[in-house]
Amino acid sequence: MSALPSAKALIPFVSVENMMRLVHHLGIERVLSELTDTIEDDFRRWESFDKTSRIASHSRDGVIELMPTSDGEIYGFKYVNGHPKNMAAGLQTVTAFGLLADVATGYPVLLTEMTLLTALRTAATSAMAARHLAPEGTRVMAMIGNGAQAEFQALAMKAVLGITEIRLYDIDRRATEKTLRNLAGCGLALQACESAEQAIEGAGIITTCTADKQYATILTDNMIGSGVHINAIGGDCPGKTELHRDILLRADTFVEYPPQTRIEGEIQQMAPDYPVTELWKVVRGEKLGRRDARQITLFDSVGFAVEDFSALRYVRAALAGTDFFQQIDIIADPDDPRDLFGMLQRAAA
């Protein structure tokens, strides 16, 4: 009888510190690029996933959500909160962690922080959508809302689409300055702008990522010229939108999982049968992405469990042969599975 937990009882846990080590070990642009491909692979086999809308617990100040999915071999879920007022208290608006488990046994195989990983996968999902929807040859992106997601979006669009210039705007100048500082020296031309209108000038991709939990109008119809791709990240829960509905009427809207997006996305402003195209069908070539150079495309991004699944399995594979994790004993594993009590009893000795 060993006093140590058995190997079956241990699962790798990736702390925030180890996630940062892993990202630096691989290089952030490589991570974003490989993550984009991993997400695209999973969108290509979309129908093999057990899909459900997230399970949300709403409260006055925010929401706590569980986002599970499974491909029949591996099960994954993410815990994530959204508390817009947290920022004023010096806390993260969004924190997350996630888990993978073996479907055949139900045993967990990976536990990891997902605050950073969610930021990475959100940017990678945007890049994947833009790869299919952005106007050809675009080199300029407007980034409206320069919060925690801004740099990840910029680097994903650089790594995956070859974006060379980012035009930044935020109602809080300090957020823009933070983003300028963080992206200095990364090989992108950066332009701080005085208004959303100025940021949009010449941009082929317009990314909106603001954080207010309320109906907002970050973009109005007259600001949007033909041919652009709008990457709308911030409208991601009931009551939270960023675009004027007139823009939606001129755009073709692409979504992750319609039942969820109709509740949480920009299209919550529209009728329940408002026409949308599922992104996975574009990835599979079953539906058209960008049709022509004048079309306005809109990726109404809310984040879906399959993307977290992709990120989790990417991390699991990337950990192999590294020491960017600790083993934690979160599973009780008695020698005789019926003898849970005996295991407890012997631990007293």
212 C-beta neighbours (distance < 10 Å), count: 15
Strands 251-255 and 296-300: parallel
Smallest distance, Å, CB 70 to a second copy?
A: 5
Smallest distance, Å, CB 46 to a second copy?
A: 17
CA distances from 214 to 48, 53, 84, 234, 271 (A): 35, 21, 10, 11, 19
Q: Please tell me the distance from the alpha carbon of residue 257 to that of residue 243, in angstroms, as a whole number.
A: 19
Smallest distance, Å, CB 297 to a second copy?
A: 27
Q: 236 catalytic, yes or no?
A: yes
Q: Which is nearer to a second copy, 99 or 144 (CB)?
A: 99
Q: Which is nearer to a second copy, 157 or 267 (CB)?
A: 157
Q: Which is nearer to a second copy, 57 or 195 (CB)?
A: 57
Smallest distance, Å, CB 108 to a second copy?
A: 7
Q: Please tell me the distance from the alpha carbon of residue 128 to that of residue 4, in angstroms, as a whole number.
A: 45
Q: What is the largest CA-CA distance in the chain?
A: 75
| SS3 at position 210 | coil
Q: Which is nearer to a second copy, 17 or 41 (CB)?
A: 17
Given the residues 42, 170, 236, 308, the one annotated as active site: 236
3-state helix, strand, coil in the chain (%, to 5): 40, 25, 35
Q: Annotated active-site positions, please?
A: 236
